[in-house]
């Protein structure tokens, strides 16, 4: 338990700090106008949707490094070679993916128009999107460096790097958005500039550290080859598809909210931040558990994996229930934070009405997040991807669409909750069955 918490705490803090950047941008948007909050939130949703897809692949560097790290005692040279390949492969994937994403962003206006978003909202959303898109490459490279550091146990550096990001980003975005009057574009440029500064600083510090000098990305350039991307792509593409299913559910709700009203879209953005808050805590925790499971998988210790899984589920369930109660009990804190009382159009009342549905979703969201990350730690990715397609798109999206016709924004979040619940329960059962099977027979490396 202590080992899980020692790894999880810095990663959770890091995730919350990263969320602070998003919340700060949303808070700045809300102080421009409700229309800016709706448009900027829509632009941020487009960027985050694509970034999450790509980062799901690049993030596999941490899983591969953790598995290789588990082999370090028995097979030192093999483990070091695999770690080096994962780092350089992750960097290659980052560069190639960024080029593709910049191309995709140019089609965002036509896509949003076909999705029924108002023209004036699309125009303002693109101001933010065209600025923040330049954060893609440095953000992906940060993921590679973070994966190397966290998987080898250097999680405190990840936390300090995240703190530095906030210190740089918040004042930079404020100056660009307000004193220089760049508005939404200024917020996007502030995020991009801070990401470039942080990746250069953190990369320099990390590879000056004696433990990581043998993995310096600008040395041995001949090791950059397309083949080094194959383990990352092989593990990452199913994870990307699973992320696509989940975010298709979440951001599909954003598109549905946009068809109701500008106020509903603005409230939906705030509710997304509530879910993101608990998601980031759960993600930091599940990432720590997945790192431990990856090491234990590399060492072929399934009894330890089972113990890690049980302890992690107990802790995350308790934590999620606490957050559920707090959000339901104190909605005024969030209302005041995002200035909803002064927004008119019944924004505060609508927020209170929908919040309880979102809060109940916290627990099942935690289950599905932890289960899928533990399975990934054992290189099991294909089965969970099928489950997410079944739960999110087979139940979640149809439920959200149907309930929206009768309950508006509350119906959207009811459908999202149904999708998360179905997926979470099935993934927990899948993880349980896999652990029971593996503790009875020798390890197999097939990613089923």
Digit-coded pLDDT (tens) for 272-313: 888 888 988 898 889 899 999 998 988 888 888 999 999 999
155's tokens: 């999680």
Pairwise CA distance, residues 416 & 420, whole Å: 6
> Are 411 and 275 spatial neighbours (Cβ–Cβ below 8 Å)?
no
Half-sphere exposure of 42 (CA within 13 A, CB side): 33
Residues 403-418 have a mean pLDDT of: 94
The whole-angstrom distance between residue 425's C-alpha and the CA centroid of its chain comes to 21
Range in 97-111, 225-239, 343-357 with the lowest mean pLDDT: 343-357
List alpha helices for 338-408, DSSP H: 347-377, 382-388, 397-407
Contact 40, 121 (CB under 8 A): no
Tokens for 110, please give them. 């036509």
Across 113-129, average pLDDT: 89
Token duo for residue 278? 């608990």
Distances (CA, A) of 313 to 4, 203, 423: 12, 34, 16
Mean pLDDT over 240-250 rounds to 86
Q: What pLDDT score does 74 carry?
A: 65
Question: Average of pLDDT values for 161-184?
Answer: 92
Are 316 and 285 contacting, i.e. CB atoms less than 8 angstroms apart?
yes
Domain boundaries, the chain: 1-224, 235-443
> In terms of Cα–Cα distance, which of 66, 422, 98 is closest to 235?
66
Q: What is the pLDDT of residue 432?
A: 92
Task: Give the other-Cβ count within 10 Å of 95's Cβ.
Answer: 12
The Cα–Cα gap between 377 and 388 comes to 17
| Angle at which helices 230-258 and 76-105 cross, to 10° | 40
Report in angstroms the alpha-carbon separations of 136 from 177, 196, 371.
20, 10, 28
The pLDDT value recorded for residue 439 is: 67
What is the three-class DSSP state of 217?
A: coil
Residue 345 is predicted with a pLDDT of 67
Cβ pair 354, 271 in contact under 8 A: yes
Structural contact between residues 412 and 257, judged by C-beta atoms closer than 8 angstroms: yes
pTM comes to: 0.80
pLDDT digits (tens, 9 = 90+) for 56-102: 899 899 989 998 888 876 677 788 888 899 999 999 999 999 999 99
Q: Is the pLDDT of residue 447 over 80?
A: no
Neighbouring C-beta atoms of residue 208, cutoff 10 Å: 10
356 neighbors 328 (Cβ within 8 angstroms): yes
pLDDT at 209 over 80: yes
The residue-averaged pLDDT of 211-223 equals: 86
Q: Given the structure tokens 């994403």, which residue do they identify?
A: 101
Phi and psi of 73, rounded to 5°? Answer: -70, -45
Per-chain mean pLDDT for the chain: 88
Angle of helix 302-329 relative to helix 262-298, nearest 10 degrees, comes to 160
pLDDT confidence of 448, banded at 50, 70, 90? very low
Please give the helix or strand (H or E) that residue 109 lies within, else none. helix 108-114
Q: What is the mean pLDDT of residues 377-388?
A: 92
| Measured torsion, CA atoms of residues 344, 349, 353, 356, in degrees rounded to the nearest 10 | 100
At residue 219, the 3 state secondary structure works out as coil
Residues 218-229 have a mean pLDDT of 85
How many residues are listed for the chain in this entry? 448
pLDDT band at 445 (very low <50, low <70, confident <90, very high): very low
Q: Which of 87, 126, 89 is nearest to 108 (CA)?
A: 126
H helix or E strand, kind and range, residue 83: helix 76-105
DSSP percent split of the chain into helix, strand, coil, nearest 5 = 85, 0, 15
> pLDDT grade, residue 52 (50/70/90)?
confident
């Amino acid at each position: 338990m202590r080992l899980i918490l020692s790894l999880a705490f810095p990663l959770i803090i890091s995730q919350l700090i990263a969320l602070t950047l998003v919340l700060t941008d949303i808070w700045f948007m809300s102080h421009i106008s409700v229309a800016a909050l709706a448009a900027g939130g829509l632009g941020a949703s487009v960027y985050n949707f694509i970034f999450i897809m790509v980062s799901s692949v690049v993030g596999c560097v941490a899983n591969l490094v953790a598995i290789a790290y588990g082999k370090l005692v028995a097979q030192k040279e093999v483990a070091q070679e695999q770690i080096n390949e994962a780092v350089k492969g992750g960097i290659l994937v980052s560069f190639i993916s960024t080029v593709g994403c910049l191309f995709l962003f140019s089609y965002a206006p036509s896509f949003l128009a076909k999705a029924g978003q108002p023209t004036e909202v699309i125009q303002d959303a693109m101001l933010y999107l065209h600025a923040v898109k330049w954060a893609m490459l440095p953000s992906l490279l940060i993921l590679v460096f973070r994966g190397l550091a966290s998987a080898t146990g250097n999680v405190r550096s990840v936390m300090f790097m995240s703190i530095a990001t906030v210190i740089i980003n918040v004042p930079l975005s404020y100056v660009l958005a307000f004193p220089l009057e760049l508005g939404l574009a200024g917020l996007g440029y502030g995020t991009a500039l801070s990401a470039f500064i942080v990746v250069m600083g953190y990369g320099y510090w990390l590879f000056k550290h004696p433990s990581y000098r043998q993995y310096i990305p600008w040395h041995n350039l001949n090791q950059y080859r397309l083949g080094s991307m194959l383990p990352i792509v092989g593990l990452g593409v199913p994870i990307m598809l699973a992320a696509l299913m989940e975010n298709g559910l979440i951001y599909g709700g954003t598109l549905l909210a946009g068809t109701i009203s500008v106020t509903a879209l603005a409230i939906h953005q705030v509710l997304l931040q509530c879910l993101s808050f608990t998601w980031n805590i759960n993600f930091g925790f599940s990432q720590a558990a997945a790192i431990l499971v990856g090491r234990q998988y590399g060492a072929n210790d399934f009894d330890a994996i089972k113990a890690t899984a049980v302890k992690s589920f107990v802790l995350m369930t308790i934590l999620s229930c606490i957050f559920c109660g707090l959000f339901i009990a104190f909605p005024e804190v969030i209302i005041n934070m995002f200035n909803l009382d002064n927004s008119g159009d019944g924004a505060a009342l609508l927020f209170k009405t929908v919040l309880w549905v979102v809060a109940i979703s916290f627990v099942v969201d935690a289950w599905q997040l932890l289960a899928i990350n533990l399975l990934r730690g054992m290189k099991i990715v294909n089965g969970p991807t099928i489950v997410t397609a079944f739960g999110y798109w087979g139940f979640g999206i149809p439920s959200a669409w149907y309930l929206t016709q009768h309950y508006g924004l509350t119906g959207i979040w009811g459908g999202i909750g149904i999708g998360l619940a179905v997926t979470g329960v099935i993934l927990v059962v899948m993880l349980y069955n896999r652990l029971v099977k593996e503790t009875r027979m020798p390890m197999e490396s097939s990613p089923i």
